[in-house]
Chains A and B, each alone.
Chain A
Amino acid sequence: MLELRLVQGSLLKKVLEAIRELVTDANFDCSATGFSLQAMDSSHVALVALLLRSEGFEHYRCDRNLSMGMNLNNVSKMLRCAGNNDIITVKADDGSDTVTFMFESPNQDKIADFEMKLMDIDSEHLGIPDAEYQAIVRMPSSEFARICKDLSSIGDTVIISVTKEGVKFSTAGDIGTANIVCRQNKTVDKPEEATIIEMQEPVSLTFALRYMNSFTKATPLSETVTISLSSDLPVVVEYKIAEMGYIRFYLAPKIEE
């Protein structure tokens, strides 16, 4: 028996919107720790890892570990039927081949049940090692989204370079080139507007912009984004989900041929 009640149901709606472009089908795993998902895109270039900790739910009952295969576009169709202020409850019985999403309006005058068929998904679970990153950049998520969008109108790839000067996002295409440098800036009114660069050593990596743009669908989940870079690892683009957990996107770099 599984029953997860999330008062801030809009969080779940935003989570689905953040990942459904990248991943078609995925297993949602429920355990005492929380509600999680790990999945790669079809070409195995990017990986998404989601965690919503059990403590973040108003009610969290998960009698035994359960993995539920879902088509994310179908989940999204269901969740789009929930109001932004609705309380969302996810329910499933042991051994059942369906999951139920229950939506309650804030004043309890409307209650809806949407039952969705589950599917069997063969998915590989990858071990993600703890790593020391050469550079970690924290910046406003809207600024990062803007940079990715702007650069993708010029080129297909972005070179992200971190030096003492700051973080530089560069691209090149048929019509020309573009470089955007963000310097560390801690003197802002609100901490979420700061750009903070922790650099152990300079690093420069190249990535496909298409994927970066897809990651920025998570922007509504967090005011800030953290980008962790090391020369021998996929970049991690992390959006923290307040009080609950995170969405982390891993993107494999382009390498010299």
Chain B
Amino acid sequence: GGKQSTITNFFRKV
């Protein structure tokens, strides 16, 4: 099923 990515891989902290 592949490796689970995380939200923080895509969106940066502001």
Contacts and interface: CB of A to CB of B under 8 A. Distances in A.
B9 to A, nearest CB: 6
B1 A126 contact: no
Contacts of A253: 2, 5
Interface in B1-14: 1-14
A252 B1 contact: no
Nearest to A234: B10
Given A44-B7, A45-B7, A234-B7, A126 B12 contact: yes
Given A255-B2, A255-B3, A44 B11 contact: no
B12 to A, nearest CB: 6
B2 A44 contact: no
Interface string A192-234: 0000000000000010100000000000000000000000111
Contacts of B13: 124-127
Contact of A256 (B2, B6, B7, B10): B2
A88 interface: no
B7 to A, nearest CB: 5
Interface in A37-81: 40, 43-47
Contact residues of A: prevailing secondary structure: loop
Contact of B7 (A206, A208, A252): A252
A42 to B, nearest CB: 11
A129 interface: yes
Contacts of B2: 157, 206, 253-257
Nearest to B14: A127
A253 B10 CA distance: 10
Nearest to A40: B7
B12 A254 contact: no
A43 B9 CA distance: 12
A232 B2 CA distance: 15
Contacts of A206: 1-2
A127 B1 contact: no
28 contacts: A40-B7, A43-B6, A45-B4, A45-B5, A45-B6, A46-B7, A47-B7, A47-B11, A124-B8, A124-B13, A125-B14, A126-B8, A126-B14, A127-B13, A129-B11, A157-B1, A206-B1, A208-B1, A208-B4, A233-B10, A234-B7, A250-B7, A252-B6, A252-B7, A254-B3, A255-B3, A256-B3, A257-B3
Q: What 6 A-B pairs have minimum CB-CB distances, sorted nearest first?
A: A254-B2, A126-B11, A127-B14, A157-B1, A252-B5, A44-B6
